[in-house]
Amino acid sequence: MDFTININNKKLAASKGETILEVMNRNGIKVPTLCHIKDAFPTGACRMCVVEDEKTGKLITSCSFPAEPDMHIQTHSARVVESRKTIIELLLSNHPDDCLYCVRNKNCELQDLSEELHVTERRIRGVKNKANLDLSSASIVRDPEKCILCGRCVYTCEEVMGVACIDFINRGNKSVIGTAFHQGLNTSSCINCGQCIMVCPTGALTEKNHFAQIQEALNNPKKRVVVQYAPSITVSMAEELGMKPGVDINGILNAALRKVGFDHIFDSSFSADLTIMEESAELIHRIQNGGTLPMITSCCPGWVKYAEEFVPEFIPNLSSCKSPQQMMGAIIKSYFADQENLKPSDIYSVAIMPCTAKKFEAQREEMTREGISDVDAVLTTRELAKFLKLFGVDMFNIKPELVDSPLGFRSTAGKLFGASGGVMEAAIRTAYHSITGKEMVDFQVSAVRGFEGRKETKLDIDGLELGVAVVNGMANAVKLLDEIKGGRKDIHFVEIMACPGGCIGGGGQHIGTSEEQLKARMAALYRIDETERIKVSHKNPEIIDLYNNFLEKPLGHKSHELLHTTYHAREVVK
Amino acid sequence: MSDNNMMHQTSLIAKVQHVFSKDTELSLPEFTARYTRKQIEKPVIFIGAGTCGLGAGAAKTLAQTRLYLENNHIDAEVVEVGCIGLCSAEPLLDIQLPGLNRISFQKITAEKVDAVLKSVFNLEMPEEAEVLGQFPGETSRRWDGVPNLMEHPFFAPQTRVVLKNCGIVNPVSIEEYIALGGYASYLQLLTDNTSSEVCDLVEQSGLRGRGGGGFPTGKKWKFAHNTPADQKYLICNADEGDPGAFMDRAVIEGDPHRLIEGMAIAAYGIGATKAYVYIRAEYPLAIKRLDVALKQARELGVLGKNIFGSGIDFDIKVKMGAGAFVCGEETALINSIEGKRGMPRPRPPFPAVSGLFGKPTIINNVETLSSLPEIFASGIAKYQSIGTEFSKGTKVFALSGKVTLTGLVEVPMGTTIRQVIFDIAGGIPNGKKFKSVQIGGPSGGCITEANLDIQIEYESLLKIGAMMGSGGLVVMDEDTCMVDVAKFFMDFIQRESCGKCIPCREGTKRMLEILESITHKPKDGSQYETLERFKGIMQLEKLGKVIKETSLCGLGQTAPNPVLSTLKWFRHEYEEHIFDRKCPANVCTELRVFKIDVDKCTGCTVCAKKCPTDAIIGSRKAPHFIVEEKCISCGNCFDVCKFDAILIS
């Protein structure tokens, strides 16, 4: 600490370069913020964090103002509180008052702040701006009327994801956040990652909801309704239920889904194992036959769409494997349907995903066979919590149950898919075995674990030098791709996840997920890997059965038909 | 002129002759005589062809002049000059005949050209045209009975520093600028002074930012000068957007080289090698003339690499703004140059430390920069002697509104507003009573009769709730409604807000709505509505305070000023609007109540036919009546009645 500053008549230590807000946060003084994003350059848009500088008599924004020696700051003087309250009242004067009908009811920063600042009277009235909902996207719904223009989504879309499909448009009171030429989100360069939803303080950005279709299927006696859930779901549901982060609720989740009325419950970690079988075989095939390298994973639908739009030159690098969601969907409507003597059209297949882009992926044309989608509906983690409530499931008073078999048993390698680096680690374990015929001595590949935006390492598999890179957060991926375009040849396999931290930080997760929570989820996945016995995909007995009974071998004829796909360059407004 | 300065002048002239391949080698006195037009060989006709002149018809005057000369086989030079300041007298046409003083005529539209030229070429005073005055020469003969132009009541009280050459010289002739001493100050500073000395000198001169805030210019430069960086920038803010302000346009159109020299001096002081002129695209003529002047300066080598062997590099780029008022705000302007949306950034960091592309950047306004050449040419002491203790030098004002002479005036600081409006601009026309003057545009406030004798200085204006601003003076007479004025500025500002910060974006809209509810006809006249309106006016003050205190940038922080200042000085007008539902100036159309004088009405039915809401009833040839509930106060009936039978109350 370099000097002291005086906040609310108390001396507090501060470092050079620290903002007043940072000093306050360290010392348990809470001032409201709306536009503030940790570590981002402050925009100073919302003015909620103003504090009184007693020396100049001015109100200054604590998020942007550096602490200076001998400053005298009042954080909750009458003048400051009245200003904050007026700002909230101004926002409310141009906000549709439909909290009761809003998805974000009781989970809204604007609502919280108006309560905190004791807004109990409609003092400021005015004409409210009108705008249409944008329902065009398969994944994301925009409601500009609820937007308070804090700009967090714009920042995230541009700086974190490198997409920039939304920005401020118009001036003054007519300002809105929108897409180029006010076209629907579906024709913009949006990759459906949903990170904008994660930072939205209000209900202006939400996921497209599939409740009605799922309920209809559940009520249809002719439909066999099956459900799969992604590896990260069991470790990221906890916050939605009010439990502490990082708790694995796998068993409870199985029971809950059965209570809702799903006929079969499958684990996408199983199909993650299947993905590894195919993907590691594809990697070895490419290396041995001079295929396009580096091979890049294709599990993340956000990244896949990004590649199709922004870097189509990398399409040949993309693994032709479908994502685990789609592999599971395809196997359900073929192998499983055969076993149960069902037609594919008799099955309604639901996927629970940490991701909004999965909603888009499920309705891609490539993901259908004879006009029938492999996956019919996708629920995010957030939606699942609401869905369970709708069906009266008391998560705190049910007994854990097992997942259904077949298509339910998983190795821990498949489970690792939930965190950034997981696909890579799982693929390395199986590729090692394929090349050497032996298992690795230590399965843990620490170099690709963790929360950093980019992780790289070199592996020596029986003399075969393999360079691997793992990136999460699209903006980080762009930098790596630029290096590869610039001529880097030392990387053979790349894992790209669009969202920071991988699927545990997906756009369908709990709103307001902090870095600490992400780390807790990541730790939970690693704990599962440590404690369970089967740590490699190729040792998953149900995977072995599936190949023996149905698929024959990785990259075989059936695999090609069911588990692999193609990509195409997309023309969008950029 | 110092010896050193004279030396520079001579070397500049040699350079001019070299660059522009002039055949004859002229000495300094010969060069000066030619390009200041002390001695001319053929007649010269000067036409005020700034934007104001062109608006008044100068293009046609110009064409007609050329046609006349051609038809009459007269060999004369026609020069397009900028605006001399007296915009209401445009188009101005000056004629200088060899051996005679240059004489200036006002309001010379195309049809008057032939008569004026014919008379003047015959050495007679034209009958039709009004002569403004003459420019006395050292050796040339006077026109009898014609006063000196600078003794004209409009010009006499002025001190022209920034506008010195405007409307007098050819703006796109670097020779004329040099002949009048131009660029010598810059070259002298380059050889004689270090950059920190230049900052010191400017600080000593007392020059303060003319863009509005009035921050000491030299002090501001030092922030950038003292911040180490591999690249520093200078930006000239020519994004003049205030309604009623046109000083910058006139300066660039009339004397672009003065701005270029000022920028070169500033850049040297702060250590910038690159500069931008951020100018609004709505000023095409200014941009054109600036481009020509920049080209000339580059050819001559006062811009470019290793300027006159000093080892200093400097060049200027012109960047056009797309018409957003907020881009006049420093940080929004920087964003705009960087290619981003024109939205302000929080400060600190200040641009002087981290500005354009993250580099130390100084942003000065056109008038500030254009003051510099003269400050150094006539000496710091001379400049310090102009103005008051804390506000030195002169200020250019753009006069508009209900005032006899409109245009640009440059007066020493310390002049009173009364002198500017009544002595220089001739007071209020049509015998009307003065009501108020809006100073500083949408960021400023109004000054009433009671404060007219206040001296123009940064501090004194702030004390009465107004501000210097960029220099727009909009004069209002008794026919102006102050609530309507406040509404106009509020409407302007809420449309021009960038939309980034909440108080400005939402608050200004709400303030406008309250003003609208006051000036509109009550919807149902219920007590509830009256109560709401009454609450509204209390809210205006409260909202205004929060917007001022919490907004991100200068635009928002000053946005409520017009409302707060009119509320302060003209509260009774607001109250009349609210309680009596009357607009005392009869401006707020919706509040007018129309009645028909039954004695005067002839029953012609014209008003009833024109009434858009069928609010007028009555049978033919019998007096008509207005149904008040139906009337929307549009005033159609009043306009069409030939018998003055419609009364407004």
Work out the average pLDDT over A414-425. 96
B576 and B631 in a single domain? The answer is: no
Q: A171, B326: Cβ pair inside 8 Å?
A: yes
Element (H, E) at B44: strand B44-48
| φ, ψ for residue A11, nearest 5 deg | -80, 130
Could you tell me if B494 and B622 lie in one domain?
no
pLDDT digits (tens, 9 = 90+) for B312-335: 999 999 999 988 999 999 999 999
Q: What number is the average pLDDT over the span B265-277?
A: 97
**Residue B129 in this model has a pLDDT that exceeds 80:** no
> B121 with B261, same domain?
no
Q: Residue B113 — pLDDT band, cuts 50, 70, 90?
A: very high
Report pLDDT digits (tens) over A481-525: 999 999 999 999 999 999 999 999 999 999 988 999 999 999 999
Of A346-350, B449-453, B588-592, give the lowest mean pLDDT range: B588-592
CATH code for the domain in which residue B325 is found: 3.40.50.11540
For residue B600, name the pLDDT band (cuts at 50, 70, 90).
very high
Residues B551 and B598 both lie in one domain: no
- Residues A275-304 have a mean pLDDT of 96
CA B521 to CA A158: how far, in whole Å? 47
Q: Which of B346, B498, B503 sits opposite A87 (nearest CB)?
A: B503
- Do B644 and B551 lie in one domain? The reply is no
Structure tokens at B584: 């005392």
Establish if B49 belongs to a structural domain. yes
My answer on whether B190 and B338 are in the same domain is: yes
Element (H, E) at A259: helix A250-260
Domains of chain A, CATH where assigned: 3-76 (3.10.20.740), 91-207 (3.30.70.20), 212-563 (3.40.950.10)
Mean pLDDT in residue range A353-358 = 98
Residue B251 φ then ψ, to 5°:
-65, -45
The answer to whether residue A286 scores a pLDDT higher than 60 is yes
pLDDT digits (tens, 9 = 90+) for A196-217: 999 999 999 999 999 999 999 9
- Chain B neighbors of A87, CB-CB under 8 A: 502-503, 546, 550
A486 touches chain B (CB under 8 A): no
Under the banding of pLDDT at 50, 70 and 90, the label for residue A357 is very high
CB atoms within 10 A of CB B531: 10
- What are the pLDDT digits (tens) for B253-266? 999 999 999 999 99
- Per-window interface: A 35-74 vs B, CB < 8 A: 42-47, 50, 58-59, 61, 64-66
Least confident of A180-194, B20-34, B35-49, B566-580: B20-34
Per the confidence metrics, is the pTM higher than 0.90? Answer: yes
Structure confidence at residue B441 (pLDDT): 87
User: How many CB atoms sit inside 10 A of residue A17's CB?
Assistant: 9
Are B473 and B494 in a shared domain?
Answer: no
Of A47, A79, A127, which is closest to B513 when you measure between CB atoms? A127
* Cβ atoms of A160 and A191 closer than 8 Å: no
- Where a domain ends, among B349, B384, B419? B384
In sequence order, which residues have a C-beta less than 8 Å from that of residue A106 and are 6 or more positions away? Answer: none
pLDDT given at position B628: 85
Joined together, the tokens standing for residue B248 give: 């910058």
Q: What pLDDT shows up at residue B525?
A: 63
The answer on B488 and B566 residing in a single domain is yes
**Predicted confidence band at B11 (pLDDT cuts at 50, 70, 90)?**
confident
What are the CA-CA distances from residue B79 to residues B46, B62, B122, B167, B177 (Å)?
Answer: 5, 9, 21, 10, 14
Any idea what the CATH number is for the domain that residue B421 is in?
3.10.20.600
Whether B43 is covered by a domain: the verdict is: yes
Q: How confident is the model at residue A1 (pLDDT cuts 50, 70, 90)?
A: confident
Distance CA B475, CA B400 (A): 6
Q: B604: domain CATH number?
A: 3.30.70.20
User: Residue A182: is its pLDDT beyond 70?
Assistant: yes
B552 vs A: CB within 8 A:
yes
What is the span of the domain harbouring residue B633?
A: 592-648
Query: Would you say residue B168 lies in a domain?
Result: no
Whole-number pLDDT of residue B21: 63
| Cα-based torsion angle of the residue sequence A516, A521, A527, A528 in order, rounded to the nearest 10 degrees | 180
DSSP codes joined into one string, A341-380:
T--GGGEEEEEEES-SHHHHHHT-GGGEETTEES--EEEE
Instruction: Give the end of a domain, one of B537, B555, B580.
Output: B580
Of B348, B497, B543, the CB nearest to A171: B497
Are the C-beta atoms of residues A232 and A354 closer than 8 Å to each other? yes
In B178-285, DSSP assigns E strands to: 233-238, 274-280
pLDDT at site A556: 94
From chain B, the residues in CB contact with A124 under 8 A are: 510, 539, 543
Q: Are strands B472-477 and B434-439 parallel, antiparallel or unpaired?
A: antiparallel
- Say if B336 falls within a structural domain: yes
Q: Looking at the structure, tell me whether residues B398 and B357 fall in a common domain.
A: no
A271 pLDDT exceeds 60? Answer: yes
Q: How far apart are CA B17 and CA A13, in angstroms?
A: 67
**B490, pLDDT greater than 90:** yes
pLDDT, residue B401, reads: 94
Quick one: B242 and B364 in the same domain?
yes
Q: For residue B341, list chain A residues with Cβ-Cβ distance below 8 A.
A: 167-168
H-assigned helices in A58-168: 78-93, 109-116, 152-155
pLDDT digits (tens, 9 = 90+) for B412-440: 999 999 999 999 999 999 999 999 999 98
Model pLDDT for residues A92-107, shown as the tens digit of each residue? 999 998 999 999 999 9
pLDDT of the residue at B2: 63
The pLDDT value given to residue B589? 85
Residues B248 and B104 placed together within one structural domain of the fold: no
- Please indicate, yes or no, whether residues B209 and B346 belong to a single structural domain of this protein: yes
Residue B551 lies in a domain: yes
Residue B457 placed within a domain: yes
Residue B608 confidence (pLDDT): 93
pLDDT by residue (tens digit) across A527-542?
999 999 999 999 999 9
Give me the pLDDT at residue A138, please: 96
B244 interfaces chain A, CB cutoff of 8 Å: no
Residue B10 is assigned to a structural domain of this protein: no
What pLDDT band is residue A18 in, cutting at 50, 70 and 90? very high
Q: Is residue B28 part of a domain?
A: no
Are the beta carbons of B488 and B332 closer than 8 angstroms? no
Nearest CA to B139 out of B19, B214, B266, B40 is that of: B40
pLDDT digits (tens, 9 = 90+) for B143-189: 998 999 999 999 999 999 999 999 999 999 999 999 999 999 999 99
**Into how many domains does chain B fold?**
5
ipTM score here?
0.91
The mean per-residue pLDDT over the stretch B14-26 comes to 72
Q: Of the candidates B355, B384, B413, which is a domain's last residue?
A: B384
